[in-house]
Amino acid sequence: MNKLNDILSLIDGYIGGSQWFVFLLLGTGVFFTIYLKFPQFRYLKHSLRIVRGKFDNEGDKGDTSHFQALTTALSGTVGTGNIAGVALAIHLGGPAALFWMLVTAMVGMTTKFVEVTLSHKYREIASDGSISGGPMYYMKKRLNIQLKNNKVLKTGSFLGALFAVATVLSSFGTGSLPQINSISNSLFQTFGINHMLTGAVLALLLGLVIIGGIKRIAKVTSTLVPLMAGIYFIGAMAVILYNAENIIPSITAIISQVFTGSAAVGGFLGGSIAFAFNRGVNRGLFSNEAGQGSAPIAHAAARAHEPVSEGLVALLEPFIDTIIICTLTGLALLSSGVWTEKIENQFQNADLVVLADTYSDQNETDKETLFHYLARESQLDVFTGNLKVIDGIIQNSPTIIHARSVAEEVKVWVNKQAYNGEISFNNGKLVSQTGVTLSGKSLMHSAPLTTIAFTRSWFGEYGKYIVSIGLLMFAFSTAISWSYYGDRAITYLFGLKGVVWFRLVYVLAFFFASFADTTIVWTLSGITIALMTIPNLFGILALSKEMKSEVKLFWKEYAKRFPGEKVPKG
């Protein structure tokens, strides 16, 4: 598993984890924000009116209402990224990472407006009468190149197929694997429920929902999304207000550390500017999926005669998902202070490395050395060999790093009993031994960290149940929506005959991911996001003039429908 994670991390480093990917994502959003004259601000009021059905025509074609399309797409984005992803971003880059998540969301509102509009325009009706749409359809129809000899270079068809394949992969890397992984970890942390039992029960429920297609999915998500958002809002506000004296310092840290990097605090050894920027943008995309091309698949099913109207509905998604919900999570984490605390936990091998020499996070020189090592700016020698263990205590232990912090009070267990014997390490990594686990005090990340933060409120220990319930609903609804995205991608590639097999594999993978390593799942999700996003971003940039023309035509029609209203200029 460690070798697999290393390979995946290397691949992710060249695409989703690279600086060029971050600049492509943000650059596209900035370009359209300027090119379309800041639609995320000018059109926001109209977005709210359209989602209530103001612009609808009787007889509009589609499988869902505007609101159902919005909640289906939101259920695909409001998931582990809002609970686990924010915690991971702050764990890696400090408070400044939250700033970059919010910036990503702000420009992402425009990106999502564009991608949904173009995808809705070129949607198709499948052989069973259902709507099938998404970026693969506009790519196939609009991105082929006309040559001088009247021949057509089918670049659009190739990109459409590439996007559809990436969508299928991403339905597992974004929608299925990390969602159930976070759910099972959270329920185990809170209630001690076996990971495999959680996976089995939820896999069965998932299968019962997705077999009904988009209409059943839309009914479920339109109920789940408002309910889960309300519960989570109450829990997060309870943490923030309970720690009210830390609200201003937390906001100050988010802003002030953007261009200075995050200083070492408690067990946190510091975060560089580049790391905060990269992880904040990356986690921001994982949260709201702007530019990834997933939401357009849900919105293509909406009943609407004018594609820009559905684009305006989609503009609301990053605002709700990231600017509201992720901000609540971030402030809960920062104001409670848990992100800098070393907490007793069972170590995950993928987060564990043993250094050859001894370092202390109480020594300023050692802290700086470890910071540069964790920021990947320098190398340190790692330990290879055997360590003796007596009654669970490692004898003459070198420095053990877990979750980017110096681990303390480390104990070794075998089948929940204190271990006696030797444990082996190779290149700093624990050589797997049946039943052997390590525990101790270290920083935490992802869903378990948010769970602990929610106990620092008036709800006390009951706060963790809010996260568990919220995560269960958030992540499960995300898995439901992503099954539909993969469903439509399979329809594009192979026709309806392949959908049944996809659903079967999707549910089985959902089950097996419930007891997989968290870190590997997150690394895989980063790769699949990038594979889906890159062709979509190039596609919408190529159709920028068409997008601007569509916006102008929409506002002309809107002005005719509502002559008394002040209409924005396209």
Q: Which two tokens stand for residue 523?
A: 């690394």
pLDDT at 353 over 80: yes
Tokens 């499948």 — which residue? Answer: 126
pLDDT at 518 over 60: no
Q: Band the pLDDT of 59: cuts 50, 70, 90.
A: confident
pLDDT the model gives residue 104: 86
Helical ranges in 15-95 per DSSP H? 19-35, 39-42, 44-51, 66-77, 80, 86-93
pLDDT the model gives residue 432: 77
Of the chain, the percentage scoring pLDDT greater than 90 comes to: 42
pLDDT the model gives residue 517: 67
76 vs 375 pLDDT, higher one: 375
* pLDDT tens for each residue of 433-447: 788 999 999 999 888
**Residue 208: other Cβ atoms inside 10 A:** 12
pLDDT the model gives residue 139: 94
* pLDDT tens for each residue of 193-217: 888 999 899 999 999 988 887 788 8
9 vs 342 pLDDT, higher one: 342
Q: At 402, phi and psi to the nearest 5?
A: -135, 130
Rounded CA gap, 62 and 167, in Å? 22
Q: At 389, phi and psi to the nearest 5?
A: -125, 125
Q: Which two tokens stand for residue 533?
A: 């996003």
* pLDDT tens for each residue of 224-263: 888 888 888 999 999 999 999 999 999 999 998 988 888 8
pLDDT the model gives residue 567: 79
Q: Band the pLDDT of 424: cuts 50, 70, 90.
A: very high
pLDDT the model gives residue 6: 74
Rounded CA gap, 315 and 311, in Å? 6
pLDDT at 4 over 80: no
Rounded CA gap, 308 and 55, in Å? 11
Q: Band the pLDDT of 10: cuts 50, 70, 90.
A: confident
pLDDT at 404 over 60: yes
pLDDT the model gives residue 172: 86
Average pLDDT, the chain: 87
Helix, strand, or coil (residue 17): coil
pLDDT the model gives residue 570: 63
Q: Does domain 2-341+453-561 have CATH number 1.20.1740?
A: yes
pLDDT the model gives residue 19: 75
475 vs 300 pLDDT, higher one: 300
Q: Which residues lie below 8 Å from residue 182, measured CB to CB, with a gap of 6+?
A: 80, 83, 84, 446, 447, 471, 475, 518
pLDDT the model gives residue 415: 85
The DSSP-derived string for 178-219 is: HHHHHHHHHHHHHH---HHHHHHHHHHHHHHHHTTHHHHHHH
The DSSP bridge partners found for residue 405 are: 402
Predicted model pTM: 0.83
- Which range is least confidently modeled, 35-49, 261-275, 414-428? 261-275
H or E element: which one contains 222?
A: helix 213-242
* pLDDT tens for each residue of 133-147: 999 999 999 998 877
pLDDT the model gives residue 382: 93
Q: Which two tokens stand for residue 416?
A: 């929940």
Rounded CA gap, 446 and 262, in Å? 19
Tell which residue, 423, 17, 477, 427, has the closest CA to residue 228. 477
Q: Which residues lie below 8 Å from residue 33, measured CB to CB, with a gap of 6+?
A: 39, 40, 107, 110
- Quick check: 383 and 359 in contact, CB under 8 A? no
Helix, strand, or coil (residue 312): helix
Region(s) of the chain under CATH 1.20.1740: 2-341+453-561
pLDDT at 149 over 70: yes
**Residue 376: other Cβ atoms inside 10 A:** 11
- Which range is least confidently modeled, 6-20, 328-342, 523-537? 6-20
